[in-house]
């Protein structure tokens, strides 16, 4: 009996999904998708359509990404790799302090960790021994040499900061 009920609800859900897809719902770029996209700023789809469109979606995304990179602090006290800036600085800060412009960022402070500590943590995130979907996603395609390179760079942060003081 339990299997019959589960089967019935599975078929019902699949039928509802097919019906939604055939009607051009929110996930297929239909009219509902425009309304959902505009809920956050209080505008209706009609108001949005009446404005002139001068930039493609790709250009808007690139501008938003560049703004996020700037917020993450692409200009730091010491030089870091572009790879670190791209993958780590938006959460951990460009200098690993976990802060940017006096505000606490999402990721913890990396500054002061040794290369070996950092490597172990990165390896644990990649292997799933430490739970963090963002870290796992960022590290998924990296190999052990890549992890070691990141760990070594992060381990050098205190020495780089000290070298600037001299």
Rounded Cα distance, 137 and 126, in Å: 8
Rounded Cα distance, 53 and 64, in Å: 17
CATH number at residue 80: 1.10.760.10
- Give me the residues paired with residue 103 across strands: 100
Q: Are residues 71 and 46 in the same domain?
A: no
Structure tokens at 155: 């381990």
User: What pLDDT digit, counting tens, does each position of 132-150 carry?
Assistant: 888 988 888 999 999 999 9
In order along its 166 residues, the chain shows pLDDT tens digits of 889 999 999 999 999 888 877 765 555 555 555 555 455 555 554 544 555 557 888 888 878 776 665 555 444 467 888 888 888 888 888 888 888 777 888 888 998 999 999 999 999 989 989 888 889 888 889 999 999 999 999 999 888 888 877 6
Q: Are residues 131 and 62 in the same domain?
A: yes
- Give me the residues paired with residue 46 across strands: none
Rounded Cα distance, 34 and 4, in Å: 38
Q: Note down the domain range covering 34.
A: 2-50
Q: Are residues 106 and 77 in the same domain?
A: yes
Q: Are residues 36 and 84 in the same domain?
A: no
Query: What is the pTM assigned to this prediction?
Result: 0.53
Q: Are residues 72 and 38 in the same domain?
A: no
Contacts of 27 by beta carbon, 8 Å cutoff, 6+ apart: 20, 21, 33
Half-sphere exposure (CA, 13 Å, Cβ side) for 42?
0
Q: Are residues 81 and 104 in the same domain?
A: yes
* Phi, psi (rounded to 5 degrees) for 56: -75, 165
- Total number of domains in the chain: 2
Rounded Cα distance, 22 and 16, in Å: 10
Q: Are residues 39 and 93 in the same domain?
A: no
Rounded Cα distance, 157 and 81, in Å: 11
Structure tokens at 39: 């809920």
């Amino acid at each position: 009996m339990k299997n019959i009920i589960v089967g019935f609800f599975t078929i019902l859900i699949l039928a509802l999904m097919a019906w939604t897809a055939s009607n051009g719902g929110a996930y297929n770029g239909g009219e509902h998708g425009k309304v959902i996209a505009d809920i956050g700023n209080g505008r209706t789809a009609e108001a949005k359509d009446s404005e002139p469109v001068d930039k493609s979606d790709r250009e808007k995304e690139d501008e938003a990404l560049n703004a996020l990179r700037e917020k993450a602090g692409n200009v730091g006290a010491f030089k870091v790799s572009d790879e670190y800036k791209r993958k780590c600085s938006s959460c951990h800060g460009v200098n690993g302090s976990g802060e940017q412009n006096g505000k606490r960022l999402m990721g913890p402070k990396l500054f002061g960790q040794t290369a070996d500590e950092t490597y172990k943590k990165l390896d644990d995130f990649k292997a799933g021994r430490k739970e963090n979907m963002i870290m796992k996603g960022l590290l998924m395609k990296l190999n052990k040499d890549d992890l070691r390179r990141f760990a070594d760079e992060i381990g050098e942060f205190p020495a780089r900061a000290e070298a600037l003081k001299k």
